[in-house]
Structures are given as C-alpha cells and as structure tokens.
C-alpha cells in the first residue's frame, strides 16, 4: 500500500498527522485515523474517504502538447491545488487527532512500557517514505516531460518525412525535366552546327562571286574623270550582301521550321503506324497460333473420323448418331477455319497497306530533305 504522507505522534507531542494511502486502480486518497489503546499504541486504524482525486489532474498533464510555458503553468496550478488539499486534510487530521487524544486521556490506562526505540524506527521509516514520495513526484514530472518531448519529436519526424517525400517527388520531376532539356539542347546544338556550316558555305560562295565580279569590273572598265567622287561601291556591295545574308538566313530559318514541323508530324504518323503495325502483327501471330492449334485439332478429328469410318462395319443404327456428332463438329471447325483464314487475309491486306504508307512517308521525307539541301546549297 503506497503512502503519500505520514507522521506519527507521541504522548508528549501536541501535533499529530495520520497517514494517507491510495487505493490501487482508483486515484482516491484516504486519511487514516487512530483509535483504541493507551497513548496511541496498540490501536486500530480506520479509513475515511476524502474527495481528493489526484490521478485526474495528473492525467491531464499527459495531454499537454503545446507551449512549455503553458505546461509549466498548468503543473504549478496543479501543485498549488495539491498542496491546498493536503493542507485541508492536515487540518482535518489535526482535529481528529485532538479528539482521539482527548478520548485516550479519558479512557486509556497508563502504560509503563518504553516504546522510544520503536518511535525512532518509525521516524526513520517515515523519513524514507517521504523521500520516496518526493522521488516519485520528481519521476512523474520527468516522465511527463519525456512524453512531451517524445510527442514533439514524433511530430517533427512526421513533418520531416512528409517533406522528404515531397522533395523526392520534386527531384524525380526535375530529373526528368533535365533529361528532356539535355536532349533538346543536343538537338539544338546539332541544328546550330548545321546552320553555321551552311553559313560558311554561303559566305564562301558569296566571296568568290564578289571577287569574280570585282575582277570583271576592274578588267573591263578603266575610266578616269576629274569629277566629284561617286558612291562607294564596296559599301553598297557590303550593304547588299548583309541584306541578302539576312534574307537568306530568314528563309533558311523559316524553311527549317516548316521542315521540322513537317518532320514532327511525319514522325508522329510513322510512330502511330508502327504501333498499329506492331499490334496487328501481334494479332496476326495470335491468329496464326490459333490456326495451328485448330489445324492440329482438325487433324486429330480427321484421324478420329478415319478410325470411325474404319469401324463402320457395325450397324448404321449404332454409328449414325456418333457420325452426325462428328460431322457437326467438323462443320464447326471448318467454319472456324474459314473465318480464321479470312481474318488472316484481311490482316495481311491491312499490313500491306500500312507498309505501303510507311514506304511512301519515307520517300516523302527523303524528298523534303533533298529539297532542303538543294535550297541550302542554292
């Protein structure tokens, strides 16, 4: 039986506090009173219930999950209430002990035995009990603090885990985006290299034509006039060259954009046709497999028919029902075989059509490429 507070009294003391004990399983505390015997010894102990429910207020502390100031204030309030109730119980015990002492003085007989050694032992035990109770209260507070810290850490862990999952999802998205951008960058770099090569070729051709034109003009015309200087032909030629270079670059970009758009559409059509072709090929393989199975089954049925025809020497009345059943099965299998053949022929025709479309699209792609190359060279 765990004691919360305990003191004893002697014959020569004026103050006496009876112990309180807690009932296991219920957070109710009872004050003990003593009666009978002389001088407070050789007595019986009776209990009186008090409305002190400590477990309810202690349990409330376990629900604190918020601010530490609020938690400490709540603990201080509960401690003040506890001390106030303990003080009221002590006052009640004082009254009861005074009444018990008066009753002892009136009704008890003097005893000459010396119980001082027992008093000392009782005092030591009571001191140990008080120390144990203090340690218990400290451990309860520590347990509550640990539970609060555990709950805070659990909340932080949940938040960190949710954040980690969201970051992993973002990393996957950005990784995919980076891969797409890398592919796009490679394509654009290839396009830039091709355009630079075309620009170098055009510039070279233009320089050759300009040099030839200058040589031709220098060889044919040599007139000296004492007149005002005419317009600078070199500047005019350079201006015309820049103008035509810009126009050529613009036309190349526009033609390239159109070609890329057309290529994308054609590639999409080719991919769709390839997918449809793969699906049809799979269906064709399945139909061929089914046809083989049905052919094998037909062969087995034909063998069975031959075996049945071999034993047609029996009376027709016995064999005609079986023969009719076999003929019915044969007709069903033949119909299925005809249907499968027609389906395979249809799939074959569709395959040829798709193959022709693919060849035609490839030819168109090569034609567009050759036209683009000719335009770039011209």
Q: Does 252 map to a domain?
A: no
pLDDT for 36-95, tens place per residue? Answer: 433 333 334 334 444 444 444 444 444 444 566 787 777 778 778 877 887 888 888 888
Residue 311: per-residue pLDDT:
60
Query: What is the per-residue pLDDT for 313?
Result: 56
Residue 216 lies in a domain: no
- Are 151 and 39 in a shared domain? yes
State how far the Cα of 4 lies from the Cα of 20, in Å rounded to an integer.
6
Are residues 168 and 282 part of one domain?
no
List C-alpha distances in Å: 146 to 140, 141, 142, 151, 223: 10, 9, 6, 9, 108
Position 187 scores a pLDDT of: 84
Give the C-alpha distances (Å, rounded to integers) separating 322 from 65, 295, 298, 332. 86, 22, 17, 15
What total of structural domains would you count in the chain? 2
| pLDDT band at 218; cut points 50, 70, 90 | low
Per residue, what are the HEC states of the chain?
CCEEECCCCCCCCCCCCCCEEECCCCCCEEEEEEECCECCECCEEEEEECCCCHHHHHHHHCCCCCCHHHHHHHHHHHHHHHHHHHHHHHHHHHHHHHHHHHHHHHHCCCCCCCCHHHHHHHHHHHHHHHHHHHHHHHHHHHHHHHHHHHHHHHHHHHHHHHHHHHHHHHHHHHHHHHHHHHHHHHHHHHHHHHHHHHHHHHHHHHHHHHHHHHHHHHHHCCCCCCCCCCCCHHHHHHHHHHHHHHHHHHHHHHHHHHHHHHHHHHHHHHHHHHHHHHHHHHHHHHHHHHHHHHHHHHHHHHHHHHHHHHCCCCCHHHHHHHHHHHHHHHHHHHHHHHHHHHHHHHHHHHHHHHHHHHHHHHHHHHHHHHHHHHHHHC
Does residue 279 fall inside a structural domain?
yes
Domain that holds residue 66: 3-107+121-172
CB 287 within 8 A of CB 348: no
| Pick from 131, 168, 140, 160: nearest CA to 27 | 140
- Give me the pLDDT at residue 113, please: 55
Distance between CA atoms of 255 and 376, rounded to whole angstroms?
10
191 pLDDT higher than 50: yes
> 73 is written with which tokens?
């204030």
Mean pLDDT of the chain: 70
Asked whether residue 213 carries a pLDDT value surpassing 50, the answer given is yes
Q: Look at residue 16 and tell me if it is in a domain.
A: yes
Q: Is the pLDDT reported for residue 310 higher than 50?
A: yes
- The pLDDT of residue 55 is 44
pLDDT exceeds cutoff 70 at 342: yes
CATH of the domain at 327: 1.10.287
Reply yes or no on whether the pLDDT at 21 is more than 50. no
A 10 A CB-CB count for 4 gives 20
More confident residue, 194 or 76: 194
Q: Which of 86-100, 105-119, 171-185 has the lowest mean pLDDT?
A: 105-119
**Res. 100: pLDDT tops 70:** yes
Question: Which residue among 153, 172, 191 closes a domain?
Answer: 172
Is position 62 within any domain?
A: yes
* Residue 188 domain flag: no
Mean pLDDT of 9-22: 39
Distance separating alpha carbons of residues 15 and 95, to the nearest angstrom: 10
């Amino acid at each position: 039986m765990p004691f919360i507070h305990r003191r004893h009294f002697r014959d020569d003391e004026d103050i006496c506090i009876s112990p309180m004990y807690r009932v296991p399983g219920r957070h109710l505390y009872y004050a003990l009173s003593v009666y009978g015997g002389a001088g407070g010894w050789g007595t019986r102990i009776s209990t009186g219930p008090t409305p002190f429910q400590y477990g309810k207020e202690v349990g409330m502390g376990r629900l604190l999950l918020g601010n530490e100031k609020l938690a400490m204030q709540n603990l201080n309030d509960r401690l003040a209430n506890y001390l106030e109730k303990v003080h009221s119980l002590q006052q009640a015990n004082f009254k009861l002990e005074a009444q018990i002492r008066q009753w002892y003085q009136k009704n008890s007989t003097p005893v000459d035995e010396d119980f001082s050694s027992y008093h000392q032992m009782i005092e030591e035990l009571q001191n140990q009990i008080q120390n144990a109770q203090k340690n218990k209260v400290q451990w309860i507070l520590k347990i509550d603090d640990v539970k609060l810290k555990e709950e805070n850490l659990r909340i932080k862990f949940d938040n960190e885990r949710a954040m980690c999952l969201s970051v992993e999802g973002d990393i996957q998205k950005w990784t995919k985006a980076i891969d797409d951008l890398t592919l796009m960058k490679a394509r654009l770099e290839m396009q830039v290299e091709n355009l630079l090569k075309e620009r170098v070729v055009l510039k070279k051709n233009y320089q050759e034509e300009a040099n030839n034109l200058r040589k031709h003009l220098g060889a044919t015309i040599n007139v000296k006039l004492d007149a005002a200087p005419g317009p600078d032909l070199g500047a005019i030629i350079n201006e015309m060259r820049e103008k035509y270079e810009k126009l050529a670059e613009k036309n190349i970009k526009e033609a390239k954009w159109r070609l890329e758009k057309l290529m994308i559409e054609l590639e999409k059509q080719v991919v769709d046709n390839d997918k449809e072709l793969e699906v049809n090929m799979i269906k064709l393989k399945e139909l061929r497999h089914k046809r083989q199975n049905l052919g094998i089954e037909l062969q087995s049925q034909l063998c069975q028919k031959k075996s049945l025809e071999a034993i047609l020497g029996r009376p027709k009345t016995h064999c005609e029902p079986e023969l009719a059943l076999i003929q019915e099965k044969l007709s069903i299998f033949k119909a299925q075989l005809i249907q499968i053949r027609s389906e395979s022929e249809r799939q074959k025709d569709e395959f040829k059509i798709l193959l022709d479309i693919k060849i035609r699209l490839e030819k168109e792609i090569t034609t567009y490429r050759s036209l683009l190359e000719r335009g770039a060279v011209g």
